[in-house]
Amino acid sequence: MAKKKRKIQDYDPWYSLLRHYVDTVLKLSYSKIIQTGRENIPDDGAVIYAPNHTGTLMDALVILASDRKPKVFVARADIFKNPKLAKMFRFFKMMPIMRMRDGFDEVKKNNKTIEQAVDVLKDKVPFCIFPEGTHQTKYSLQPISKGIFRIALQAQELMSDMPLYIVPVGIRYGNFWRFRSTAHVHFGEPMKVSDYIGQNSDKTPQELMNIMKASLEKRMKETLVYIPNNEDYDATYEICAATINEQIKTVKDNRKVDVLALQSNANNKTVKLINALKESNPQAAEKVLSLGNKAIKLRKSKGISLKSVVAKHSLLFNIAKLMLLLATLPYTIVITVLTLPLILLCNKVCGMFKDRAFDNSVRMLMNLLAWPLLMIIYTIISYICLPWQWALPLTLVILPAPYLIHDIYKGVRVLVSDFKLCCCKPLKAIYKEIRELVFK
């Protein structure tokens, strides 16, 4: 009797075991990960997740780690050309999908992927596709493709007895390139596919997909810190940073809300204020945006981080941080030396990519694969050179080194940046003028 071929969504004990390790390393790769809007995920049918795409591999991993359920993903087809890599990607529950940029004839090959996706959804395993088709490191949204709707409509046709939902997901990183930053995942209002089909029975498939596309785009923007990707993008984001603390006070209520969610709400409110100002008072909008651009140039010329603008640490706080950094300096020196091979390897691999969006994915993978090997070497050396009573605590102390070293040096960078901002009266004056104009 022939052995039944395992489907991509089937349980795999090796995959399940590996997931525990990967999820742990992922969570250590960020100083904080929060999820909001989980109540929007339906539990009475099949689900297609539709996240924005800003952080390459990290986007998929934060969605995967949102709960313990298995999930199947699609990725661009060109990375599956190598048979060995294709086999590995299948183990990771990834399927290839062609994009329009690959050519119309290539897109026709998506039929097999669509059939597999339908089979996944029929088994009520969540399916994830990035509808933008490519990534960009901006708090914005690119045009979304129709592939997700082709899959959804075909799946719903074959699952007439089961509801199918498209759930928009907004992923927001505190910093696109810095390791150990923050991540905020928000699940938005779901789209019930059968409702769109029923309400548009007189429309052609193309018209129906256009209607669903407009709806998904609107709902995805609502899950994000959405800044239109135009000539005012950078100035708008600078203004958001300058006004975030005052804006948080206007969106905060008595409910217990995480600070990352508050920051997202505050930034969205600022973007809406700027857009409204463009309509009602173009001259005032032009002035505040001009100040935003002026602040960017001055801040960057002085080497001041936006983190300092947002956080506004007090002098007492910075003195306490400096004392802590000095007190832990011996430990910092030791773990700097021990993690140097890993840091150099990460920098070497990151340098192979022109796109810095891959930086955090590389660092996460290096911590996943290379650091355990280094730890084995350090542990063997420790037990050879020292009594086990000393070797054991030494091993435990250096185990979190790759993550602590990023936090320590981030603390140093921000401390220096805070001092520069404190001494830069012209920049503080610009930010004050921006706040006055925005809250006028």
Burial (CB < 10 A; 0-12, 13-18, 19+), residue 290, is exposed
Based on the domain organization, do 199 and 243 belong to the same domain?
no
Based on the domain organization, do 138 and 44 belong to the same domain?
yes
Tell me which of 222, 257, 288 is where a domain ends. 222
Tell me which of 198, 222, 246 is where a domain ends. 222
The pLDDT-based confidence of 346 (bands split at 50, 70, 90) is very high
* pLDDT exceeds 80 at position 2: no
Say which amino acid occupies 400: P
**CA 141, 143, 149, 151 torsion-angle sign:** negative
Q: How much of the chain is helix, strand and coil, in % rounded to 5? A: 65, 10, 30
Taking a C-beta distance cutoff of 8 angstroms, is the pair 75, 63 a contact? no
Give 121-138 pLDDT, tens digit per residue: 988 999 999 999 888 999
Based on the domain organization, do 266 and 391 belong to the same domain?
no
Q: Residue 361 domain-assigned?
A: yes
Q: Residue 7 domain-assigned?
A: no
Q: Mean pLDDT of all residues in the chain?
A: 91
Based on the domain organization, do 175 and 37 belong to the same domain?
yes
Give 264-322 pLDDT, tens digit per residue: 999 999 999 999 999 999 999 999 999 999 999 999 999 999 999 998 888 898 899 99
Tell me which of 200, 222, 244 is where a domain ends. 222
Count of domains for the chain? 3
Q: Residue 191 domain-assigned?
A: yes
DSSP letters, 223-255, are HS----SSTTHHHHHHHHHHHHHHHHHHH--SS
Percent of the chain having pLDDT more than 90?
72
Give 30-44 pLDDT, tens digit per residue: 999 999 999 999 998
> How far from the centroid of its chain's Cα atoms is residue 67's Cα?
16
Give 67-124 pLDDT, tens digit per residue: 988 899 988 777 788 888 888 888 899 988 766 555 555 556 667 788 888 889 988 9
Q: Residue 217 domain-assigned?
A: yes
- For residue 122, the domain's CATH number is 3.40.1130.10
Based on the domain organization, do 415 and 433 belong to the same domain?
no
Upper half-sphere CA count for residue 305 (Cβ side, 13 Å)? 19
Based on the domain organization, do 261 and 396 belong to the same domain?
no
At 47, phi and psi to the nearest 5?
-130, 135
Q: Residue 2 domain-assigned?
A: no
Say which amino acid occupies 323: M
Which residue range(s) make up the domain with 272? 233-302+429-438
Distance between CA 305 and CA 424 in Å, rounded? 13
Based on the domain organization, do 338 and 264 belong to the same domain?
no
Based on the domain organization, do 100 and 183 belong to the same domain?
yes
Question: How would you write 401-436 as a 3-class SS string?
Answer: HHHHHHHHHHHHHHHHHHHHHHHCHHHHHHHHHHHH
